[in-house]
């Protein structure tokens, strides 16, 4: 008797499991079909209809257009040193500024230390998302309009773009801290500022510095293109070489960009490995 009901229950379970699996398979198939339809539609619109195949011509002509870039204009390298340094320094200064400006956003955006959660927490989250969702080119356009052409607009654009990332990761680090030291400091009568300086900061500092260095590495890549909209650095040289159809010079600029990015990646990797 017991055995029979047990089997019956098991049968029901098997049925249910099988039915669930079929449902899940159907769901997956449906999602797959929708995605495939989207792909076909997008390919049709972007690649088939919108592309001027006459202009592109045959594969040989495409290769010919691409081969214009094959070659390095060595005479350009001496004049690239200044802009390369400028790009690197824009990234450094922008990251430093972003790291300073992100302090209020981090403070408000960490759930456990935010002063008044219902209001300050959403404000901080909005600030972070705003900063990350606007592309660095758009930030640069805005700051070029405000400050005029030059490196300063680039520094501000990089700083604004960095705030979101640094603040988000730092706020998450603060949310994960050990609350013991905070409680202990509060119990001795420390004020909010003292608690932050002596209980929270020492716990998150290595992580925050790691984040800042990682962001610096990304910012080198970004600052290399800000010149395209007038914010100084290698982007400006790239733009000039492109507009004067000096394609070998374009390759030289790209090599310079790659060089500083690899340098930055090596430095950031070395520092972060030593710190962790």
Partner 1 sequence: MTANASPASQAPAIPKRWSRYKHPESLYSYAGWLIAFSVVVFSIEYLNIPLDRLFGMFGRMGEVIAQRYYPADIDYIMDRDYLGYVIETIQMAYLGALFGLLITIPLAWFAAYNMTPSKLFVYPGARVFSMSCRAVHETIWAILFVSILGYGMLPGVLALTLFSAGFAAKLFAEEIEAIDMGQVEAMRATGANLFQVMVFGVFPQVRVAFTGIAIYTWDVAFRAATVVGFFGAGGMGWYLKRSVLQIETERVAAIILSIIVLVLISELLSAWARNTVMKMK
Query: How many whole angstroms separate alpha carbon 134 and alpha carbon 128?
Result: 10
The answer to the question of residue 123 lying near partner 1 (CB under 8 A) is no
Query: How many whole angstroms separate alpha carbon 254 and alpha carbon 238?
Result: 8
The answer to the question of residue 103 lying near partner 1 (CB under 8 A) is no
Query: Helices marked H in the chain — which ranges?
Result: 2-43, 53-56, 59-67, 77-109, 117-133, 136-147, 151-175, 179-187, 192-195, 201-223, 234-243, 247-275
Residue 8: phi and psi, rounded to 5, are -60, -45
The answer to the question of residue 266 lying near partner 1 (CB under 8 A) is no
Show contacts with partner 1 in window 204-243 (CB under 8 A).
Answer: 221-222, 224-225, 228, 232, 238, 242
Query: How many whole angstroms separate alpha carbon 175 and alpha carbon 234?
Result: 39
Which is nearer to partner 1, 113 or 160 (by Cβ)?
160
Query: How many whole angstroms separate alpha carbon 47 and alpha carbon 49?
Result: 6
Checking 3-9 for CB contacts under 8 A at 24+ apart, the result is none
The answer to the question of residue 89 lying near partner 1 (CB under 8 A) is yes
The answer to the question of residue 265 lying near partner 1 (CB under 8 A) is yes
For residue 202, count other CB atoms closer than 10 A to its CB: 11
The answer to the question of residue 47 lying near partner 1 (CB under 8 A) is yes
The answer to the question of residue 267 lying near partner 1 (CB under 8 A) is no
Token reading at 138:
């758009």
Among 14, 22, 51, 112, binds partner 1 (CB under 8 A): 51
Which is nearer to partner 1, 9 or 100 (by Cβ)?
100
Among 2, 3, 5, 50, binds partner 1 (CB under 8 A): 50
Q: Kindly state the number of chain residues that form the binding site for partner 1, as judged by CB under 8 A.
A: 55
C-beta separation of 111 from 117 below 8 A: yes
Minimum gap (Å) between residue 181 Cβ and partner 1: 15
Q: Where do contacts with partner 1 occur on this chain (CB under 8 A)?
A: 38-39, 41-43, 45-47, 50-52, 55-56, 62, 65-66, 69, 85-86, 89-90, 92-93, 96, 129-130, 133-135, 137-138, 141-142, 145-147, 150-152, 155, 221-222, 224-225, 228, 232, 238, 242, 250, 254, 257-258, 261-262, 265
């Amino acid at each position: 008797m017991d055995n029979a009901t047990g089997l019956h229950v098991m049968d029901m379970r098997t049925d249910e499991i099988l039915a669930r699996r079929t449902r899940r398979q159907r769901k997956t198939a449906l999602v797959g079909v929708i995605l495939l339809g989207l792909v076909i539609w997008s390919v049709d619109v972007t690649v088939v209809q919108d592309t001027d195949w006459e202009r592109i011509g045959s594969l040989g002509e495409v290769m010919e257009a691409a081969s214009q870039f094959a070659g390095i204009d060595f005479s350009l390298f001496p004049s690239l040193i200044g802009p390369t340094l400028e790009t690197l320094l824009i990234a450094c200064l922008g990251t430093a500024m972003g790291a300073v400006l992100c302090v209020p956003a981090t403070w408000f955006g960490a759930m456990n230390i935010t002063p008044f959660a219902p209001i300050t927490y959403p404000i901080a989250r909005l600030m972070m998302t705003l900063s990350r969702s606007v592309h660095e080119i758009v930030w640069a356009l805005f700051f070029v309009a405000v400050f005029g052409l030059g490196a300063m607009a680039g520094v501000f654009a990089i700083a604004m773009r960095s705030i979101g990332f640094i603040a988000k990761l730092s706020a998450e680090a603060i949310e994960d801290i050990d609350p013991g030291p905070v409680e202990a400091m509060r119990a001795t009568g420390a004020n909010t500022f003292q608690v932050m300086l002596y209980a929270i900061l020492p716990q998150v500092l290595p992580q925050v510095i790691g984040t800042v260095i990682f962001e610096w590495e990304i910012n080198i890549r970004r600052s290399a293109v800000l010149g395209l909209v007038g914010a100084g650095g290698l982007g400006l040289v790239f733009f000039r070489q492109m507009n004067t159809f000096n394609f070998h010079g374009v390759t030289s600029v790209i090599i310079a960009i790659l060089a500083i990015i690899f340098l930055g990646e090596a430095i950031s990797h070395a520092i972060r490995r030593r710190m962790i």
